[in-house]
Amino acid sequence: MTLSRLQRNKLVWLWGYRPADITAYGFDDGRPAADAGRYLGSDWNRRFVQDVVNDPRNHVLTEHKWVFYRFADGFGLPVPPTIGFFDSVQGTTWDGERPLRTVPQVLAELDRVRPTGLVVKPAGGGQGAQITILDRIDHATGTATTRTGEETTLERVFAALDPGGERGVSGYVLQHAVRNHPELAQLAPTTTNTCRVLTTVATDGTAHVHAASIRLGRRGGMIDNWGSGGVSIPIDVATGVMGPGILKGVPGDLTEHPDTGERFAGRELPLWQETVELCRRAAVLFPGLRFLGWDVVIGPDGPMLLEGNVHWSLRGSQMLAADGWLADPDTRERVEGLGVPLPTGRVSRQVAAGVLARGRDRARRVARRVGRTLTSR
């Protein structure tokens, strides 16, 4: 049964869904409109949740990767060993002792540190944008092989970086490449696979793991991100056991890795309790950020924080929760405890504010278009 036009409009206007939510949560495949309250709509999240749970003034703590690594390390939280920040104005080595403002300075530092594998990622990056991973480096000649098998040189890698950085944030983080725990390498050996762990911090300062998943990368890719083709798999938080996974753009559930044929569904992750503990410890240390998505590498010696995310793919996470997050009363209570209103499907002050905001967004878009037309004359 497909939704009527009226039902779709209600999902958008009263529940704060975006059209892509409607498809992602199965409303186009027979899920009844009565299930609307089980999912948090993307627009609702953007308008009434995001900035309440994670104060935008504090975003820099996780969204600037260099700030994140220095801050996390300051508390002794395990992060990949980091070499420095390459930036034309304020580049510096990890210890703040030497500038990393030019390519020759970077090459000199790499020659001093001699990492066996190197990751270069934009300080303002996200969703795997612009990441280079070198798996083999010959420090005598400066030649290197990328994770996808291309031959290059260190000099070429750094000379090719856009000085503007990513998303308007300048600079790049240089970091040792870290390895998978052997059990995870067996499942997906070609990428560094990461868990995504969502934590909330209650008013009394206690942290709770809200949901977790893992991404297993595919052959031919540099990284494991779902948008780049990784398999996304839910994890049962209490036990660390993986469920059936999903691949972007491919309908149906997956129980085995498409490249290795290894079955992951039903398997227990190594070092899972340590991973949960690490995320709970980290969650309470980032002020003003109370609902974060952590990327964690489970390495041979233990879990390591790869990054924190204030925007942690609400839709991707909810697609993995079979019945929808908001079907669970404990989750509702926890989210409301963060001071956010949850949708009820009735016309309310929030909905009115949302409708107004929608109208305002549209007006702005039109004004921008008119402005562009006028200035291009």
Ligand X SMILES: Nc1ncnc2c1ncn2[C@@H]1O[C@H](COP(=O)(O)OP(=O)(O)O)[C@@H](O)[C@H]1O
Residues in the site for Mg ion, rule: CB under 5 A? 295
Q: Cα(first)–Cα(last) distance of the chain, in Å?
A: 50
137 vs 246, which CB is nearer to Mg ion?
246
Cβ(215)–Cβ(224) below 8 Å: yes
Cβ(304)–Cβ(78) below 8 Å: yes
Cα–Cα–Cα angle for 14, 16, 19, rounded to 5 degrees:
110
Q: Does 166 bind ligand X (CB under 6 A)?
A: no
- Type of residue at 92: T
Question: Which pair of structure tokens corresponds to residue 68?
Answer: 């994140």
Helix axis angle, 349-375 to 5-13, nearest 10°? 90
By a kind-dependent CB cut-off of 5 to 8 A, residue 174 interacts, out of Mg ion, ligand X, none, with: none
Selected binder of ligand X within 33, 67, 103, 129 (CB under 6 A): 129
**b/e code 57-73 from CB counts within 10 Å (16+ = b):** eebebbbbbbbbbebbe
* Nearest distance in Å: CB 103, ligand X: 21
What is the rounded distance in angstroms from the CA atom of residue 64 to the CA atom of residue 253?
Answer: 35
Q: What is the CA radius of gyration of the chain?
A: 22
Q: Does 214 bind ligand X (CB under 6 A)?
A: no
Q: Of the ranges 129-137, 198-206, 245-253, 315-323, which one interacts with ligand X (CB under 6 A)?
A: 129-137
Q: Does 307 bind ligand X (CB under 6 A)?
A: yes
* Nearest distance in Å: CB 128, ligand X: 4
Q: Does 99 bind ligand X (CB under 6 A)?
A: no
The conformational region for residue 150 under phi > 0 = left, psi -120 to 50 = alpha, else beta, is beta
Q: Does 178 bind ligand X (CB under 6 A)?
A: yes
With residue 180 as reference, give the H or E element that holds it: none
Q: Does 175 bind ligand X (CB under 6 A)?
A: yes
Q: Does 306 bind ligand X (CB under 6 A)?
A: yes
175 vs 317, which CB is nearer to ligand X?
175
Q: Does 318 bind ligand X (CB under 6 A)?
A: no
Q: Does 36 bind ligand X (CB under 6 A)?
A: no
Question: Which pair of structure tokens corresponds to residue 89?
Answer: 């104005």
What is the rounded distance in angstroms from the CA atom of residue 352 to the CA atom of residue 25?
Answer: 24
271 vs 306, which CB is nearer to ligand X?
306
Q: Does 223 bind ligand X (CB under 6 A)?
A: yes
87 vs 295, which CB is nearer to Mg ion?
295
Of 221, 213, 175, which Cα lies nearest the Cα of 312? 213
Q: Does 72 bind ligand X (CB under 6 A)?
A: no
Q: Of the ranges 39-47, 126-134, 245-253, 258-266, which one interacts with ligand X (CB under 6 A)?
A: 126-134
Task: Describe the chain by its helix, strand, coil percentages, rounded to 5.
Answer: 35, 25, 40
Q: Does 180 bind ligand X (CB under 6 A)?
A: no
Q: Of the ranges 37-45, 128-136, 275-283, 317-325, which one interacts with ligand X (CB under 6 A)?
A: 128-136
129 vs 284, which CB is nearer to ligand X?
129
Would you tell me which residues interact with ligand X (CB under 6 A)? 80, 119, 121, 125-129, 131, 133, 175, 177-178, 191-192, 194, 223-225, 295, 306-307
